[in-house]
Amino acid sequence: MKIIKGLENVQERFVYPVLTMGNFDGVHLGHQKIFELVRNRAREVGGTSIVLTFDPHPQKVLFPEKEFFLLNTLEEKIQIIEKIGIDVVICARFTREFANKSSYEFVKEVLHEQLGVQEVYVGYDSTFGKGREGDTQELKYLGEKFGFKVVVVPPVQIKGKPVSSTRIRKLLKEGNVEEAALLLNRRYSIDGEVIRGKALGKKLGFPTANLKLHHELIPKEGIYIVEVLWRNKMFKGALNIGFNPTFPNEKFSVEVHILDFDQDIYGERIKIIFYKRIRDEIAFSSVDELVKQISKDIEITRKYFAELEKQGSEIKDLDGVEREN
């Protein structure tokens, strides 16, 4: 897959461009459906499948004062799109100047003149142009004017509601990582660098890897069953998100106890894949009570994965990695 960062760096004329455009945060089931349509259509006509996306996310540029957490890093988003089989990803630099383009200017200058699109596939709720003035009806009208076909893709629904990035963010903030996985068509993950903490876990007999995160959206505080990807190997783990309330004045942290693991991984990057939320954080009356509960959490984690292995998982993640028993 070819990656072009910046519209100004598009130097070639693509063969019969079949394009979709949007932010695609989360690259969820709805986005995947559109990408697959674009990919398949481009292959059918011997053309080029193109995803036009924007970086930074427009929300970050236009409303920087508002709290807004992305589901993916740009790097992760591109990796997921590549797995679907798209030919070209164009990351347009989103600036206030770019945001001031009218819907007409955007279609004429970018889609028609610069990219020479032949077909455009968009979601049912797609908007574009200054103040999001353009909608699917206007895009169809402009497509007729400039000679390209527009296909509006209906929403994918799960449990009777459209799949959306907003809905996924809400689920993760509620700690519902299992339903979020259904909408994403993969388990939610975060990654970061392992840093030194206060070694509280080690003192309790359960050493943990503390993370400096690269992702913005962290699921609700609590204890989670997870897998940990390190050096292309997968390990089972129990993750704590929060403030360790049994110990006063602790700062917010994300730390994982990796089962049956004894490696020095300070400074290394690991990925956390969420399977299930076990419980809330609790302030225990004694350290002994905390240790007993951690032991229970680890036993729950082991039983969960043992049962999962018996049943087989419906959601496949990270093909090609080696899992530790």
Is the bond preceding 207 in cis, omega lying within 30 degrees of 0? no
Closest Cα partner for 217 from 280, 162, 166, 277? 166
Sorted by where each starts, the structural domains of the chain and their CATH numbers stand as 2-161 (3.40.50.620), 189-323 (2.40.30.30)
Q: What is the pLDDT of residues 241-251, one digit of tens each?
A: 999 888 877 78
Residue 321 has pLDDT above 60, yes or no: no
Longest dimension (CA), the chain: 73
Q: Is the pLDDT of residue 312 over 80?
A: no
Question: Looking at the predicted structure, is the pLDDT value of residue 123 above 80?
Answer: yes
Q: What is the pLDDT of residue 309?
A: 85
Other CB atoms within 10 Å distance of the CB of residue 72: 23
- Which pLDDT tens digit goes with each residue over 269-295? 999 999 999 999 998 989 899 999 999
pLDDT beyond 70 at 44: yes
